[in-house]
């Protein structure tokens, strides 16, 4: 039987629309918080009862809503943020669709009380989920807006039965509020659950209050072991804090990205940040970061998803590349260029675990310059270029490294005016000159069990895993040499045929020059076939077919791929491991000090090739606490 087409009642249309906007109590909080922030609020209170199912209240001190606009504000598609199509193409506010209040009110008992900044009294109105609103009534209220959402989903039992426990629902709210707190340091927030204050942060006014707020939200460990970044180019700016590679997590629970102040979950940005940490993280670990991206509003589309978590960039490849390169540059800086804070005693004592925090501490003034490295050190590290026949010669690398180290420390001493260094003492001089001229990792005192170097620094004691540290040094040098020799190709004795889909062939045609620059010689055999006649020398024994398919998949999604570089780096890492100083090799003090100086000048020297820390430190305060000195 034919069904009659009828117009949906307004309240039912609102309930259907609410399905896109209101998924759970956290969705309500998100929409109300966005409205509060868009109103210019400097203080927002979030009051939750029973995980948000019983009641949600969001109270702000923003601009408020005048009496004559109050009823319009709770209507569908009514907003003060969008006037024309041009406004929609450059959205500068968090909310803009004008659906939130109408949708929320259709699935709850809803009350709104607001007082405009220039009015002497507030006004309120309410609804019971049926689309019928009370007339505005005068209410005692402070300037700003208060929204009270009670009995969420009381009239949509099918939606209500999918809610989790109050504890679970509140955890979603707490995580959301935490992200908002991170995104707006200039605003104070208070989160209350069942009349108990769970989180409260005050507006940031200076660097001290900013550090305190970050410690509250991200933890003192993150603040102590993160690098502040601030990069800008053309119309894009990337700022925030990125955790040092040794401060890593088992989950992606400490990764926050904001675009123009908006919380986003973007695969492109996540992939860029993952690639920025490639080659320095232990397998299966995840970095921690708090990153803010600022980009002209007309170059980013926020009208992609009803919940506004997703964005689309006008030039995604440009954003991806700039973000990846900026963060990679920060985490790859040599020790002489880094500035951070010291690790805590608990973090140092946990150095044996995969989630250890080590290295990159605040070591005082750095005195080693990249361009003034000791000639004997540089000469000792001139390994052969990693071409096809290099693997057979790599065993000679370690002896070459140590051949001339006896004179290395003397060369370093000559560069440091006023410093006196001897093989037996390591460093001597008055306290002031010692503090001013002590290198970042200090000077070696002894070797422990043929594995560790014990050094004295300005701030205390340093322990270095000599094999892991030297492995990174050799690896980074190999990579630089590969960059110089990457055009060396090796012809295949038997050309290889690779079957591809038409879409993959199109991607190859677009990036054909890029493959050629990497050392591949490829040509089309037909509409769905590639012929491979030459490959980079280091990849001659690799699975070329699988590698090409994976690279083309990456290029199709983000317009860039690091798989070839990762494969080559894996080979170079293995070669470096075999070519570095082995455990139980006895080093002299000059040899140990030369290794420390190389670490200070080598990128990523905080981690070995497998992502494990190469050094840890104990400050004098931490050493004193171990022996209860001063207690």
User: Could you tell me which residue, 350 or 545, shows the higher pLDDT?
Assistant: 545
Which among 39-48, 476-485, 588-597 has the top mean pLDDT?
Answer: 39-48
SS3 (DSSP) at 326: helix
Same domain, 460 and 521: no
Name residues whose C-beta falls within 8 Å of residue 502's C-beta, 6 or more positions apart in sequence: 527, 528
Q: Is 292 left (phi over 0), alpha (psi -120 to 50) or beta?
A: beta
Q: Would you say how long the chain is, in residues?
A: 631
109 by DSSP, 3-state: which? Answer: strand
Residues 441, 335: Cα–Cα separation, whole Å: 9
- Per the listing, tokens 């020790």 go with 335
Q: Tell me what pLDDT residue 381 has.
A: 32
State the pLDDT at residue 376: 32
- Residue 84, beta-bridge partner list: none
Yes or no: say if 173 and 165 are a contact pair by the CB < 8 Å rule.
no
Among 46-55, 160-169, 388-397, whose mean pLDDT is lowest? 388-397
Neighbours of 21 (CB within 10 A): 22
Tell me the pTM: 0.70
Share of the chain above pLDDT 90, in %: 36
The three-class DSSP label of residue 5 is coil
127 strand-pairing partners: 110, 133
For the cut 90, the answer to whether the pLDDT of residue 168 exceeds it is yes
Per-residue pLDDT at 374: 33
The angle formed by the CA atoms of residues 381, 467 and 405, to the nearest 5 degrees, is 40
The domain spanning residue 420 has which CATH number? Answer: 3.30.1540.20
Residues 476 and 543 both lie in one domain: no
Token look-up 């540290």 returns: 469
CATH number (domain holding residue 258): 3.30.230.10
The count of other CB atoms within 10 Å of the CB of residue 473 is 24
Q: Which domain holds residue 304?
A: 219-332
Single residue among 201, 231, 263 that ends a domain in this structure:
201
Taking the C-alpha atoms of residue 385 and residue 459, their distance in angstroms, rounded to an integer, is: 39
The angle, 0 to 180 degrees and rounded to 10, between the axes of the packed helices 589-601 and 466-485 is 50
Residue 263 contacts residue 58 (beta carbons within 8 Å): no
Cβ atoms of 299 and 318 closer than 8 Å? no
Domain boundary among 575, 593, 616: 575
Residue range 247-269: mean pLDDT, rounded: 90
**Which residues, in sequence order, are CB contacts of 394 under 8 Å at separation 6+?**
383, 575, 578, 579
Does 492 or 357 have the greater pLDDT score? 492
Give the CATH number of the domain where residue 548 resides.
3.30.1370.100
On the question of pLDDT at 444 being above 50, the answer is: yes
> Is the Cα torsion angle 16, 20, 25, 27 positive or negative in sign?
negative
Does some domain include residue 211?
no
Question: Are residues 307 and 224 both part of a single domain?
Answer: yes
Lowest mean pLDDT, pick from 271-280, 414-423, 547-556: 414-423
Domain membership flag for residue 38:
yes
pLDDT tens-place string over residues 323-369: 999 998 888 877 766 644 333 334 333 333 333 333 333 222 222 22
DSSP classification of residue 421: -
Query: Comparing C-alpha atoms, which of 334, 284, 285 is closest to residue 441?
Result: 334
In this prediction, residues 259-269 reach a mean pLDDT of 89
Distance CA 262, CA 179 (A): 10
Q: Is the pLDDT of residue 547 over 90?
A: no
Q: Cα 417 from chain centroid? A: 40
User: Are 85 and 98 spatial neighbours (Cβ–Cβ below 8 Å)?
Assistant: no
How would residue 66 be classed by pLDDT, with cut points 50, 70 and 90?
A: very high
124 plus 186 within the same structural domain: yes
Does the residue 210 lie in any domain? no
579 with 394: CB under 8 angstroms?
yes
The answer as to whether 564 is a domain residue is yes
Q: Check residue 14 and give its pLDDT.
A: 67
pLDDT band at 36 (very low <50, low <70, confident <90, very high): very high
Residues 370 and 231 in one domain: no
Given a cut of 90, whether residue 522 has pLDDT beyond it is yes
User: For residue 138, which of 160, 113, 117 has the smallest C-alpha distance?
Assistant: 113
Residue 212 lies in a domain: no
> How far, in Å, are 128, 145, 528 from residue 111 at the CA level?
9, 11, 62
Q: How many CB atoms lie within 10 A of CB 72?
A: 12
361 and 338 in contact (C-beta within 8 Å)? no
pLDDT over threshold 70, residue 414? no
* In the predicted structure, residue 185 carries a pLDDT above the cut 70: yes
By the 10 Å C-beta count (0-12 exposed, 13-18 middle, 19+ buried), 432 is classed as exposed
The pLDDT value recorded for residue 267 is: 86
pLDDT for the residue 581: 66
- Alpha carbon of 314 to those of 191, 195, 256, 296, 609: distances in Å? 36, 45, 22, 10, 36
| pLDDT (tens digit per residue) in 567-621 | 677 667 776 676 666 667 888 899 899 999 999 988 888 888 777 889 988 989 8
* 231 in the same domain as 149: no
- Mean pLDDT value of segment 461-490: 80
pLDDT above 70 for 169: yes
Mean pLDDT along residues 444-467: 92
For residue 41, the domain's CATH number is 3.30.565.10
- Nearest CA-CA partner of 190 in 174, 214, 166, 171: 174
- Reported as half-sphere exposure (CB side, CA atoms, 13 A), residue 541 has a value of 6
Give 87's pLDDT tier (boundaries 50, 70, 90).
Answer: low
Strands 443-448 and 452-456: antiparallel
Q: Do both 267 and 358 map to the same domain?
A: no
| 86 or 315, higher pLDDT | 315
Q: Is 206 domain-assigned? A: no
Tokens representing 613? 């820390």
Element (H, E) at 464: strand 460-465
Evaluate whether residue 337 is within a structural domain.
no
First CA to last CA distance, the chain: 89
Q: 350 is written with which tokens?
A: 């946990």
DSSP single-letter state for residue 580: S
pLDDT at 289 over 90: yes
Q: What is the pLDDT of residue 49?
A: 97
Section 179-198 average pLDDT: 97
The pLDDT of residue 402 is above 50: no
What pLDDT, on a 0 to 100 scale, did the predictor assign at position 551?
A: 85
Sign for the CA dihedral angle at 343, 347, 353, 355 comes to negative
Give a three-class secondary structure readout of 235-273: CEEEEEEEECCCCEECCCCCEEEEECCEECCCHHHHHHH
Q: What is the pLDDT of residue 20?
A: 64
Return the bridge partners of 497, or none.
531
User: Which of 3-7, 178-182, 545-549, 573-577 has the largest mean confidence?
Assistant: 178-182
Residue 408 and residue 272 share a domain: no
Checking if the pLDDT of 153 tops 60, the result is yes
In a domain, 209, yes or no: no
Beta strands in 166-319 (DSSP E): 188-193, 196-201, 226-233, 236-243, 248-249, 255-259, 262-263, 286-287, 289-294, 300-301, 312-313
Region 555-568 average pLDDT: 71
* Helix (H), strand (E), coil (C) string for 21-36: HCCCHHHHHHHHHHHH
The model's pLDDT over 124-146, given as tens digits with 9 standing for 90+, comes to 999 998 888 999 999 999 999 99
Q: Are 134 and 157 in contact (CB under 8 A)?
A: no
- pLDDT at residue 364, as a whole number: 24
Average pLDDT over residues 417-432: 38
Query: What dihedral angle (degrees, nearest 10) is formed by the CA atoms of 218, 250, 467, 361?
Result: 0
Residues 450 and 562 in one domain: no
Residues 112 and 181 grouped into a single domain: yes
Q: Is the pLDDT of residue 257 over 90?
A: yes
Stronger pLDDT, 484 or 534, i.e. the higher one: 534
Q: Are 18 and 104 in contact (CB under 8 A)?
A: yes
Task: Categorize the per-residue pLDDT at 428 as very low, low, confident or very high, splitting at 50, 70 and 90.
Answer: very low
**Residues 69 and 185 placed together within one structural domain of the fold:** yes
In the chain, how many domains are there?
A: 4
Looking at the chain, the whole-number percentage of residues with pLDDT higher than 70 is 74
- At residue 154, the pLDDT reads 92
Same domain, 323 and 178: no
Beta carbons of 601 and 334 less than 8 angstroms apart: yes
Mean pLDDT for all residues in the chain = 79
């Amino acid at each position: 039987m034919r069904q009659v087409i009828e117009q949906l009642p307004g309240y039912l249309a609102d309930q259907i629309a609410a399905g896109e906007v209101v998924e759970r109590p956290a969705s309500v909080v998100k929409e109300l918080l966005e409205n509060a922030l868009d109103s210019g609020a400097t203080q927002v209170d979030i009051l939750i009862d029973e995980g948000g199912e019983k009641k949600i209240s969001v109270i702000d001190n923003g601009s408020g809503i005048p009496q004559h606009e109050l009823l319009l504000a709770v209507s569908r598609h009514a907003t003060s943020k969008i006037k024309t199509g041009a406004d929609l193409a450059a959205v500068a506010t968090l909310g803009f669709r004008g659906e939130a209040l109408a949708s929320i009110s259709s699935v709850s008992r809803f009350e709104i009380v607001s007082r405009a900044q220039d009015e002497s009294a507030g006004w309120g109105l309410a609804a019971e989920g049926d689309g019928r609103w009370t007339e505005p009534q005068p209410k005692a209220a402070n300037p700003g807006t208060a929204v009270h959402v009670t009995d969420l989903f009381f009239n949509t039992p099918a939606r209500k039965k999918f809610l989790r426990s109050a504890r679970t629902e509140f955890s979603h709210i707490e995580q959301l509020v935490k992200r908002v707190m991170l995104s707006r340091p200039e605003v104070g927030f208070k989160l209350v659950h069942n009349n108990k204050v769970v989180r409260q942060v005050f507006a940031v006014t200076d660097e001290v209050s900013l550090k305190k707020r970050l410690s509250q939200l991200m933890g003192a460990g993150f603040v102590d072991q993160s690098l502040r970044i601030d990069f800008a180019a053309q119309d894009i700016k990337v700022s925030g804090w990125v955790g040092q590679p040794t401060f890593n997590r088992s989950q992606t629970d400490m990764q926050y990205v904001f675009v123009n102040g908006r919380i986003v979950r973007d695969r492109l940005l996540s992939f860029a940040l993952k690639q920025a940490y490639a080659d320095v993280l232990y397998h299966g670990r995840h970095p921690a970061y708090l990153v803010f991206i600022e980009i002209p509003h007309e170059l980013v589309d926020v009208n992609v998803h009803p919940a506004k978590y997703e964005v689309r960039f006008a030039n995604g490849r440009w954003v991806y590349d700039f973000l990846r390169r900026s963060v990679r540059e920060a985490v790859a800086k040599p020790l002489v260029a880094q500035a951070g804070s010291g690790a805590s005693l608990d973090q140092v004592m946990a150095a044996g675990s995969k989630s250890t925090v080590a290295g990159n501490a605040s070591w005082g003034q750095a005195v080693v310059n990249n361009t003034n490295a000791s000639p004997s050190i540089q000469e000792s590290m001139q390994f052969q270029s990693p071409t096809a026949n290099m693997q057979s010669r790599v065993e000679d690398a370690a002896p070459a490294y140590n051949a001339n180290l006896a004179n290395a420390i003397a060369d370093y001493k000559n560069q440091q005016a006023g410093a006196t260094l001897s093989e037996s003492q390591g460093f001597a001089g008055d306290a002031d000159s010692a503090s001013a001229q002590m290198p970042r990792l200090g000077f070696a005192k002894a070797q422990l069990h043929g594995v560790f170097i014990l050094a004295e620094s300005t701030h205390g004691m340093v322990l270095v895993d000599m094999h892991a540290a030297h492995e990174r040094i050799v690896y980074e040098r190999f990579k630089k040499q590969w960059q110089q020799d990457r055009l060396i190709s090796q012809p295949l004795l038997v050309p290889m045929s690779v079957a591809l889909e038409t879409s993959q062939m199109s991607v190859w045609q677009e990036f054909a020059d890029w493959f050629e620059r990497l050392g591949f010689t490829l040509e089309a055999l037909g509409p769905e076939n590639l012929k491979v006649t030459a490959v980079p020398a280091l990849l001659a024994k690799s699975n070329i077919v699988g590698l090409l398919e994976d690279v083309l998949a990456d290029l199709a999604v983000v317009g860039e791929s690091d798989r070839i570089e990762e494969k080559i780096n894996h080979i170079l890492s293995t070669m470096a491991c075999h070519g570095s100083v082995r455990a139980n090799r006895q080093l002299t003090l000059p040899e140990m000090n030369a290794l420390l100086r190389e670490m200070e000048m080598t990128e990523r020297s905080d981690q070995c090739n497998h992502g494990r820390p190469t050094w840890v430190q104990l400050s004098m305060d931490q050493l004193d606490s171990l022996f209860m000195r001063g207690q």
